[in-house]
Amino acid sequence: MQKVRIGSVGLGRLGLAHAENIALKIRHAELVALCDVDTAKLHQTADKLNVPHRFTLFEDMLSLPELDGVVLVSPSGLHTTQIAAALAAGKHVFSEKPLGVTVAECKATEKAVEAHPDLVFMLGFMRRFDGSYQYAQQKVAAGEIGKPVLFRSYSQDPEKFIAGAIAFAPHSGGQFLDMAVHDIDLARWFTGSEPETVYAIGGCYAHPEFAHYQDGDNVSCLMRFKNGCMVFLFAGRTAPHGYNVETEIIGTQGILRIASVPQKNLVEILDCHGVRRECSENFLERFGDAYCKEIQEFVDCIVSGQKPRVSVYDGTRVSEIAYTCKRAFETGELVRF
């Protein structure tokens, strides 16, 4: 079988992980090109992974005829432009979240995707590829917990990465766009419904820097969904214990909790601190396997001609909701969708 030839853009922490996965772990795929403005890192990574083509300009990469698809792990502000350009060049596209930094951009991207029905477009909501989330979602979809009553989801980054978060604050779009988008995606996926109202609060509990960007270091919102389900989301940047992504869905006949202890592995330690589990340090440790599986789905869809489970419309919808949450947070008012 002919392998899918991929070029990957962006070599930050997640970009590096994607590049290594494509080069070493994804079936039916080949990493043929890398693109990054940092030429030292570009060549170091390309050498290590035996990648023949290296680019500092995205447009140059697109002109590589043998390229079948691109994986975008570039800054959020570049996503929609790069998606459009890649599609126009006839390349399949996998883009990391968020789809775009404005809803207008997202809508324009919908048109671009619609204009290329033969090309695969997929958005990186990796939690949908995590085995535990999939197992839970199937139980909910099968009606095992009855009617959804409350969906609660937390995304907490460890305090020890706060310097990076502060440096990135001007470009992050705020916590609802930067972190809660994953929880918004999960809420729609688990409940099969859409929000009607949102009330959002929070603040700078430890790091006043985020206030400059009308953001907080910890925020939350309560939403009413159209099917009546209550949705409570919490996003924080000061977790003392590690990277904590946990979700609970309370139904009328059962309750599921996913990763309520963000355990690093199956080792339990009994020492002077008590009986304890060490926690995942970051998203790569927690979702390393899911990051592989999402790219595998991208490649499999290219090979089979099927559509990925996450569509461009999911990307737009999640962005719209995240922006509405952000507006609710900034105004302090109850917002109706």
Return residues touching a second copy (CB under 8 A): 24-25, 27, 131-132, 135-136, 139, 145-147, 149-150, 159, 197, 199, 201-203, 205-206, 218, 220-222, 224, 228, 230, 232, 234, 236, 238-242, 244, 250-279, 332-334
| Rounded-to-integer distance, Cα 236 and Cα 118, Å | 40
Smallest separation (angstroms) from a second copy to the CB of 74:
27
Smallest separation (angstroms) from a second copy to the CB of 65:
25
| Rounded-to-integer distance, Cα 87 and Cα 75, Å | 18
Beta bridge partners of 245: 155
Smallest separation (angstroms) from a second copy to the CB of 209:
14
- Which residue, 164 or 240, has its beta carbon nearer to a second copy? 240
* Among the listed residues 315, 305, 240, 262, the one whose alpha carbon sits nearest the alpha carbon of residue 72: 315
Tokens 């290590």 locate to 48
Which tokens sit at 158? 């460890």
- Which residue, 146 or 171, has its beta carbon nearer to a second copy? 146
- Which residue, 108 or 149, has its beta carbon nearer to a second copy? 149
- Which residue, 41 or 257, has its beta carbon nearer to a second copy? 257
Q: Are residues 230 and 150 in contact, defined by beta-carbon separation less than 8 angstroms?
A: yes
Smallest separation (angstroms) from a second copy to the CB of 313:
26
- Which residue, 41 or 277, has its beta carbon nearer to a second copy? 277
Smallest separation (angstroms) from a second copy to the CB of 221:
7
* Among the listed residues 107, 98, 220, the one whose alpha carbon sits nearest the alpha carbon of residue 155: 220
Q: Are residues 110 and 331 in contact, defined by beta-carbon separation less than 8 angstroms?
A: no
- Which residue, 110 or 285, has its beta carbon nearer to a second copy? 285
| Residue 223 exposed, middle or buried by CB count within 10 Å (0-12, 13-18, 19+) | buried
Smallest separation (angstroms) from a second copy to the CB of 287:
11
Q: CA-based angle 212:335:148, to the nearest 5?
A: 110
